Amino acid sequence: MIRVHKIKLNPTSEQRRYFAKCAADAQGTWNWALNRYLQAREQGEKIDWNSFKKEFRASDCQARQWSRETASCVVDEAFSGLSQAISTYFKSRKTYLSKGDTTAANRLKIPGFRGRKHAKTGGFVYTNIAFRVSGHSLRMNRLTTEVNMCEPLHFQGKPMSARFTRSGDDWFVSILVETEQAERVRPDWRQLPSGKQKSVQRAERPVPRQEGEVGLHFGLRVFLTTSTGESIEPPRFLRQAERRLSQLQRGLSKKVKGSRNSRKQLKKLQAAHRRVANCRGDFQHRITTRLVRDHAALAYDKWGVQQLIDLPDQFYPEGFYDAGVATSANMLKYKGELYGTRIVIAEHPASKKCSTCGAIKEDLKLADLSWQCDNCGSVHDRERNAVLNNLAAIQLKPLAGTNQVGVTPVDSDPLLTGPIS
């Protein structure tokens, strides 16, 4: 299996300058390759990325001059990333058109040029032959000194690639590892008599699993409801940090743009926003990991997730954006594959379907927290009814090619696909 570990770096001033050169090289290469692709498409030429790459290396453009100071894999991965992004665009568009969803297909956009904004946050990619990981040290081609990492790699296996990204003034590396372990192996620091520290690998924790099936439902007022009776309220990370963010934003507006004090204040504001994002990600990972580790099968309704995403902004209650419904659903999918938990995505409108007789109440409004079925007269709580319908969907959706319910990963869906983090 493929796992990713994102680690914060502590680079020196020289290493920071090299990272900035690599990021500018990757951005310039991307823009040159995209411009060449659009020209070839307009003139009806054959799309051959290898010939485009040879043409780029033979040219004397500004991007090519930058690439002479960086590792060759930076250019190669920029071309590879663009070709993959364009291929993903056409595949997703074809998928939506095959389902008759022209609105979603037209909403997709072909990858665009990377401008000044991307230069401040964008990064670059190193292949496995261009870097080595040893404890807290990262050895990279074209760098004479090792880059210090805040923590060692938590996965034992073969490193495949390393993606370097920037957030504010901080640099991070996301190392892709081919491994057989689903759980992270975190180091256990023990103090030795000599005063030195030694990293000792902790024993892997046993995976607790309840042989049960659970229905889930993502909602507006309640972030997640389960068929076991658990209700998880949406977090308020952004709300809790609003006062601090407002103070920092006002302080930034009073500074002279481009001054040293302005840059210092901007770093503080970026750090505060990054903390909110980290708290949100930690909340999502804790909830989804606990669910897939503790249960054999989970089910949620795709219709409910899609409805929440497509709602106008005025319908969202306070704190809804802090939850990240689509991201959490995506985490359930890929973590189900890692832990061997079956994930079923139901196609029915779970909150509108009567869990007693199966009739659908079409005129159900968002404000209706409870409703009565027109067919059988049953009275339902909206969230409880949805999780019961999703729980029943597990039994109604057997494994492909069999008549029994088992453990299997779900098929990918363009709405919920995304990078593993």
pLDDT in tens, 1-32: 888 899 999 999 999 999 999 999 999 999 99
Least-confidence region, from 76-90, 108-122, 155-169 = 108-122
Confidence of residue 97 (pLDDT cuts 50, 70, 90): very high
pTM: 0.74
Residue 1 is predicted with a pLDDT of 80
- Strand 170-178 and strand 158-167: the pairing is antiparallel
Helix axes 260-294, 325-339, angle to 10 degrees: 50
Q: Is residue 160 part of a domain?
A: yes
Bridge partner list, 2: 178
Q: Is residue 186 part of a domain?
A: no
Judge contact between 32 and 63, C-beta under 8 A: yes
C-alpha span between 327 and 298 (Å, rounded): 16
To the nearest whole number, what is the mean pLDDT of the chain?
81
Least-confidence region, from 180-194, 342-356, 374-388, 400-414 = 400-414
Residues 6+ apart with CB under 8 A from 155: 3, 5, 177, 179, 181, 184, 185
pLDDT in tens, 291-329: 998 898 999 887 666 666 555 554 555 556 677 888 888
Q: Are residues 355 and 265 in the same domain?
A: yes
Q: What is the mean pLDDT of residues 166-186?
A: 83
Q: Is residue 379 part of a domain?
A: yes
Domain count across the chain:
2
Q: Are residues 165 and 216 in the same domain?
A: no
Q: Are residues 173 and 245 in the same domain?
A: no
Q: What is the mean pLDDT of residues 178-190?
A: 66
Q: Around Cβ 307, how many Cβ atoms within 10 Å?
A: 16
Q: Is residue 386 part of a domain?
A: yes
The DSSP string of 254-295 is TSPTTSHHHHHHHHHHHHHHHHHHHHHHHHHHHHHHHHHHHE
Q: Are residues 279 and 227 in the same domain?
A: yes
Residue 52 is predicted with a pLDDT of 92
Q: Is residue 277 part of a domain?
A: yes
Q: Are residues 247 and 160 in the same domain?
A: no
Q: Is residue 161 part of a domain?
A: yes
Task: Indicate if the pLDDT at residue 206 is higher than 50.
Answer: no
Q: Are residues 19 and 152 in the same domain?
A: yes
Q: Is residue 101 part of a domain?
A: yes
Q: Are residues 43 and 173 in the same domain?
A: yes
Task: Indicate if the pLDDT at residue 176 is higher than 60.
Answer: yes
Task: Indicate if the pLDDT at residue 411 is higher than 60.
Answer: no
C-alpha span between 242 and 385 (Å, rounded): 35
Residue 401 is predicted with a pLDDT of 38
Task: Indicate if the pLDDT at residue 200 is higher than 80.
Answer: no
pLDDT in tens, 211-222: 588 988 887 778
Q: What is the mean pLDDT of residues 393-415?
A: 47
Helix axes 325-339, 302-310, angle to 10 degrees: 150
Task: Indicate if the pLDDT at residue 413 is higher than 60.
Answer: no
Please state the three-class secondary structure of 194-250 as a single string: CCCEEEEECCCCCCCCEEEEEEEEECCCCCEEECCCCEECCCCHHHHHHHHHHHHHH
Structure-block tokens of residue 409: 């990963």
| CA-closest candidate to residue 395, choices 188, 215, 223 | 215
Least-confidence region, from 55-64, 274-283, 325-334 = 55-64
The larger pLDDT score, comparing residue 141 to residue 306, is at 141
Structure-block tokens of residue 411: 């098929």
Judge contact between 184 and 5, C-beta under 8 A: yes
- Residue 132 phi, psi dihedral angles, 5° rounding: -140, 140
Q: Which domain range does residue 339 map to?
A: 211-396
Residue 207 is predicted with a pLDDT of 53
Q: Give the number of C-alpha atoms closer than 13 A to the C-alpha of residue 202, restricted to the C-beta side.
A: 13
Residues 6+ apart with CB under 8 A from 158: 128, 177, 178, 179
Residue 23 is predicted with a pLDDT of 92
Residue 303 is predicted with a pLDDT of 65
Q: Are residues 123 and 235 in the same domain?
A: no
Highest-scoring range by mean pLDDT, 9-18, 63-72, 177-186, 305-314: 9-18
Least-confidence region, from 125-134, 186-195, 246-255, 266-275 = 186-195
Q: What is the mean pLDDT of residues 187-194?
A: 46
Q: Are residues 89 and 8 in the same domain?
A: yes
Q: What does each C-alpha distance from 330 to 175, 309, 313, 382, 413 come to in angstroms?
A: 20, 13, 22, 24, 9
Confidence of residue 254 (pLDDT cuts 50, 70, 90): very high
Task: Indicate if the pLDDT at residue 337 is higher than 70.
Answer: yes
C-alpha span between 33 and 39 (Å, rounded): 10
Q: Are residues 170 and 221 in the same domain?
A: no
Q: What share of the chain is helix, strand, coil (3-state, %, to 5)?
A: 45, 20, 35
Question: 3-state DSSP call for residue 390?
Answer: helix
Structure-block tokens of residue 140: 């990279």
Residue 161 is predicted with a pLDDT of 94
Task: Indicate if the pLDDT at residue 83 is higher than 60.
Answer: yes
Residue 338 is predicted with a pLDDT of 82
Q: Are residues 151 and 219 in the same domain?
A: no
Task: Indicate if the pLDDT at residue 63 is higher than 70.
Answer: yes
Task: Indicate if the pLDDT at residue 346 is higher than 50.
Answer: yes
C-alpha span between 292 and 290 (Å, rounded): 6
Residue 309 is predicted with a pLDDT of 56
CA dihedral 46→49→51→52, nearest 10 degrees, is 100
Q: Is residue 40 part of a domain?
A: yes
Residue 305 is predicted with a pLDDT of 65
Least-confidence region, from 144-153, 237-246, 327-336, 372-381 = 372-381
Q: Are residues 169 and 259 in the same domain?
A: no
